[in-house]
Structure 1
Amino acid sequence: MTQRGHHFLNIPGPSPVPERVLRAMNRQVIDHRGPDFQKLGREVLAGCQAVFQTKSPVVIYPGSGTGAWEATIVNTLSPGDRVLMVETGHFASLWKKMADRWGVEVDFVPGDWRSGVDPALVEAKLSEDKAHAIKAVAVVHNETSTGVTSRIAEIRKAIDAANHPALLLVDSISGLASADLRHDEWGVDVTVSCSQKGLMLPPGLGFTAISDKALAASKTNTMPRSYWDWAEMMKPNADGWFPYTPATNLLWGLNEAIAILLEEGLENVFARHQRLAAATRAAVEAWGLEILCRNPKEYSPVLTAVMMPPSHDADVFRKIALEKYDISLGTGLAKLQGKVFRIGHLGECNELMLIGALSGVEMGLSAAGVPHRSGGVQAAMASLEGAKTQNAPLRAVAG
């Protein structure tokens, strides 16, 4: 049956693309060696620094977040180098597999997929490493598979407390521009991200923000690279150019997306995501379902992963919700397949959009016969009203 009206895309990325961004990309391709492009190149490179909250270079690749991971590995590490990683979920595991392929020796600490990186564990591991054999600590900021964030500022403090020179490499693919991430202030050496999450663009761009320390490492490491070489990108970037044909129309969209974020103000962007996430959790709790993330300090503002009751398949529920109510929800990945579904509330999302999505979830739970209590949407509304009207005067009701 053909669905009418608006499709609700509530996966944790790709996220919906704002109309302003779509219009910005809807233009004829220009000469990427001409003056109009040089102006665009300079604007987007400076704008990226604002969003990453850094004065350091941000390299933009035509590629994916996975490509930006690879760029980080090949520019900072050498074969045989040791890296500390923690199994926080599916994407931490994928990053580990990539490092293995490049001949990096990974100290991979097992995890339960319900918790972020423990800063105390990082400090203990690095304190034991008296020879400073560990060259980097690589962590996922917002684990998209689980709805769990890791406390990056605390991890930086743990590295410093151990008096260890390891680089801090952070995957903020789904965190950037949705969850607070301060590249400079938090002492991150490389922040990895991509276009289709908080930046509200189609897939196709990967990013690495690079500290002076990481840049110095790139000049002495021995990993082979060509396409991903920071030096080859940064030379022409200094004047707004790229060493090869860039994704021109995506860069027009990126420029507009950055303008949208800065008009709202990054602090307001982060606060909005926190409000929407709190409302989503209020709905889940009212339904009597369990949130996958164990620690409230690590709740993601980007998405909420919800555990299914025993003997109920999350993918069956997702299929019914899509067919009946035209809502796309995130699937469980790897060992969470069929056990959880994920509600994305990132990017171009506001209160009314969220309430519509949660209504679709609640109706979908009923249609799929998933045991739950009613009232989740009302609980979310109450959460949003409370966030908006704390200490507000009483309102008269017309009658």
Structure 2
Amino acid sequence: MSLANGRAYLAIPGPSVMPDAVLQAMHRPSPNIYEGELHDLTYSLFPDLKSIAGTAHNVAIYIGNGHAAWEAALANVLNRGDTVLVLATGRFCVGWGEMATGLGVNVQTIDYGDKDSVDLDQLATTLRADTDHKIKAVLAVHVDTSTSVKNDVPGMRHVLDMVEHPALLMVDCIASFGCDRFEMDAWGVDVMVTACQKGLMTPAGISFVYFNEKANAARGDCVTGYWDWRPRINPEVYYMNFYGTAPTHHLYGLRAALDMILAEGIEAVWARHATLAQAVWAAFDVWSVPGGIGLNIADPEHRSHAVTSCFAESPEGDRLRNWCEHQAGLTLGIGLGRTPADAYFRIGHMGHVNAHMIMGVLGTIEAGLKALDIPHGDGALSAAATVIAKATRGGA
């Protein structure tokens, strides 16, 4: 017997749950790509994308996943033979650095492991030692989806300014955008990359590169016609927004998703994600006992509000994840890039999520712990409910 029949819940850290409004907006015939409604809708997206990112600068849309945005960002600002500094706090910043290597860029990496955030003092020491300013860009991940660590992006800008280093600050916000607070201009970020399938609640397939005038002036020789962001932000004709046919149905879905975010208000969206993440952490604080499960990131200040990386004794992480999916209809994320992989799993709490969904995730995990005889403390659901009750006390 299985209790998984019924509507499944995809609680992986992207693609995230898609709202009915997004799906309905996309359920339509192909539009005229040459004039009319699609053009108006497309140009309505840019100011709202900028507003959510907290920038008055530029954003280009690419048809591709987050890796496409990585390459576009690198190609537009770097020359072959340039050096970048990669601040690795998990699999994804390492991957961005590997892509830079493939473009003929020299990569210098500081690896902080899988459980720690960027050490700003070490960053300052490294940048001070670069007296010839060979480092052209610092690559960092705001939230690494594999580890769920959240890095101090404003702190990185402070370090760059303090040591008077001219390197571009380039930040991956693929996991965090629309979930964890991010303010591009106020935080001094030169280039930011993100994608549509997480906090933006749209099916995977489009990504975004944000950049300021300093980054735009750093034109490198890695860029080719398709990746060049300059025609995309000043298109002579509509198709240059995408260097070809528009991702038509994604644009309709994205418009609906942005409308939902703006109606709620970005501050309220960030607050909702913070409360739901804290509910998850409260449950794990109670569950965590020797030989049981626990949180990957010890310091709450460095935990993401979008994704939580968890561990158990090997192979209990995989056993619990498989039980949740096949016995209860809840899909959790795999231990991506972790060793041993069967000890780790991840919970996505990003985008279109609310209190009853998160309580359902936690209740299902607790049922799995009991069914599999994995050691755990009692009272986790009560602890999570208390977080939610406290955040909403007095609300109608």
User: In 1, are the aligned partners of 2:169 and 2:190 still within 8 Å (CA)?
Assistant: yes
Distance in 2 separating the partners of 1:264 and 1:119: 34
1:322-361 map, 5 Å: 322-336=325-339, 337-361=341-365
Map of 2:36 onto structure 1: 35
Map of 1:69 onto structure 2: 70
User: In 2, are the aligned partners of 1:40 and 1:240 still within 8 Å (CA)?
Assistant: no
Say yes or no: does 1:386 pair with 2:393.
Answer: no
Unpaired segments ≥5 residues, structure 2: none
Distance 1:375 1:171, change over 3 A: same
Distance in 2 separating the partners of 1:382 and 1:77: 50
Structure 1 residue identity aligned to 2:224: R
Map of 2:221 onto structure 1: 222
User: In 2, are the aligned partners of 1:276 and 1:350 still within 8 Å (CA)?
Assistant: yes
Secondary structure class of the residue paired with 1:150:
coil
Structure 2 residue identity aligned to 1:227: Y
Say yes or no: does 1:290 pair with 2:297.
Answer: no
Distance in 1 separating the partners of 2:386 and 2:297: 22
Which deviates more, 366-375 or 339-348? 366-375
Map of 1:251 onto structure 2: 251
Distance in 2 separating the partners of 1:279 and 1:236: 45
Could you give the per-residue CA deviations for residues 315-336 of structure 1, whole angstroms, max 9, x where no partner exists? 1221111111110001101234
Distance in 1 separating the partners of 2:62 and 2:111: 32
Q: Report the Cα offset of residue 295 of structure 1.
A: 2.3
Secondary structure class of the residue paired with 2:235:
helix
Q: RMSD in angstroms over aligned alpha carbons?
A: 1.8
Distance 1:239 1:231, change over 3 A: same
Say yes or no: does 1:232 pair with 2:236.
Answer: no
1:110-121 map, 5 Å: 110-121=111-122
Distance in 2 separating the partners of 1:58 and 1:369: 50
Say yes or no: does 1:202 pair with 2:203.
Answer: yes
Which deviates more, 9-18 or 372-381? 372-381
Distance in 2 separating the partners of 1:170 and 1:363: 38
User: In 2, are the aligned partners of 1:83 and 1:104 still within 8 Å (CA)?
Assistant: yes
Distance 1:240 1:339, change over 3 A: same
Q: Report the Cα offset of residue 99 of structure 1.
A: 1.1
Q: Report the Cα offset of residue 237 of structure 1.
A: 7.5
Unpaired segments ≥5 residues, structure 1: none
Structure 2 residue identity aligned to 1:333: L
Map of 2:80 onto structure 1: 79
User: In 1, are the aligned partners of 2:195 and 2:207 still within 8 Å (CA)?
Assistant: yes
Say yes or no: does 1:301 pair with 2:305.
Answer: yes
Distance in 2 separating the partners of 1:52 and 1:32: 27
User: In 1, are the aligned partners of 2:231 and 2:240 still within 8 Å (CA)?
Assistant: no
Secondary structure class of the residue paired with 1:142:
coil
Matched residue count = 389
Distance in 2 separating the partners of 1:237 and 1:344: 40
Identity %: 35
Structure 1 residue identity aligned to 2:388: L
Secondary structure class of the residue paired with 1:61:
strand
Q: TM-score, normalized by length of structure 2?
A: 0.94
Distance in 2 separating the partners of 1:71 and 1:241: 15
Distance in 2 separating the partners of 1:300 and 1:231: 33
Q: TM-score, normalized by length of structure 1?
A: 0.94
Map of 1:317 onto structure 2: 320
Q: Report the Cα offset of residue 2 of structure 1.
A: 8.0
Structure 2 residue identity aligned to 1:261: I
After TM superposition, which residue ranges in structure 1, 4 or more long, deviate above 4 angstroms?
A: 237-241
Map of 1:211 onto structure 2: 212
